[in-house]
Amino acid sequence: MAQVRNPLGIYALLPKTNCGRCYLPSCLAFAAAVVKGEKKATDCPYLEKSVAAKFGADSGMRDPDELKRQEKVRDLQGKVAGLDLAAIAEKLGGTMAGDCLRIKSLGKSFLIDRQGKVSSECHTHSGLTIPLLSYIVESKGTDPAGDWVPFRELRDGAPMAPLFASKGEQGLKKLVDAHTDLLELLIDIFSGLRPEAGFSADISVVLYPLPKMPVLICYWKAEDDMESDLNIFFDSTAGEHLEIRSIYGLAVGLVMMFEKIARKHC
């Protein structure tokens, strides 16, 4: 297959449903983003894998978003290299394993060495490495207060709240609507917990993407003439651990990961 630089060449192979699962408003916008190098063809879950891989091999373009993430990782690694990991391990809710800091994310152990390199038995990538390293660099070690608040009530959260609702909460709601057993599955896969306090939601799950930064997901099923609804809440101390853009990236990254899990297990 020859290199494709015309978006219409890619668009012709897409489902044209404008489903939004690539986090763009239309299939044509997705095709244009692939040509620009802003998206990878494999980001479309409906494009045949062999075709998507061929686009990736022929394009010769590097994803600029991934380049930015790699640059961010290198910056954070430089900051971690200047820290005494043993001195801050307990503050962060972690432990030491030899010369490495052990941090649990969603019930899985990750090791961070003195150069800021992250390793685990699980798959690691920049979308997970960045929140882990940011947590080590930024967290004040504040214990959770047990008060749940929406994204908009976090420090500096209001300006980004509409985007979070669209990319985070609405994206996850569509996913749970289609796979009603997903939240139950997350409890098993990621050591999720039922919240101790009573909630009016039909399903409530607490996850710990970072040791002192829990996330609460509440889902209400459709009933009579009322549509389903889903909200993501954070402990009121979340801003003591990550700045708002990192919190946004962490939460939206979780939604994207849950989407992959749903395609595989549901």
CATH number at residue 214: 3.30.310
Helical residues (DSSP H) of the chain, grouped into ranges: 7-11, 27-36, 49-59, 64-80, 85-88, 126-138, 161-164, 171-178, 182-189, 244-265
Q: Are residues 261 and 173 part of one domain?
A: yes
User: Does one domain contain both 114 and 159?
Assistant: no
Residues 133 and 153 in one domain: no
**Structural domain includes residue 51:** yes
Identify whether 143 is part of a domain: no
At 144, is the secondary structure helix, strand, or coil? coil
Are 40 and 54 found together in one domain? yes
pLDDT at 2: 41
- What is the arrangement of strands in the sheet containing 148-150, beginning at the earlier edge strand? 148-150, 229-235, 213-220, 203-210
Domain end point (choices 138, 159, 175): 138
Same domain, 71 and 112: yes
Q: Are residues 80 and 133 in the same domain?
A: yes
**In a domain? residue 38:** yes
Same domain, 158 and 185: yes
| Per-residue confidence (pLDDT) for residue 7, from 0 to 100 | 81
Judge whether 189 and 208 are in contact, CB under 8 Å: no
User: What's the confidence (pLDDT) of residue 59?
Assistant: 47
Quick one: how far is CA 53 from the chain centroid?
23
Distance CA 61, CA 53 (A): 13
Two tokens, residue 206: 């607490």
Same domain as 128, residue 195: no
For residue 146, the model assigns a pLDDT of 93
Residue 216 inside a domain? The answer is yes
Confidence at residue 17, expressed as pLDDT on a 0 to 100 scale: 87
Same domain? 189 vs 215: yes
Is there a contact between 42 and 21 (Cβ–Cβ < 8 Å)? no
The reply to whether 2 falls in a domain is: no
Split into its structural domains, the chain has a count of 3
Which whole-number Å values give the CA distances from 42 to 21, 25, 49, 94, 257, in the listed order? 12, 17, 7, 35, 14
Residue numbers in the chain where pLDDT is lower than 50: 1-3, 57-61
Longest Cα–Cα distance in the chain: 58
DSSP-derived 3-state class of residue 121: coil
Please report whether residue 40 resides in a domain.
Answer: yes
Q: Tell me, what CATH number does 41's domain have?
A: 1.10.15.40
Find the domain containing 54 and state its range: 7-59
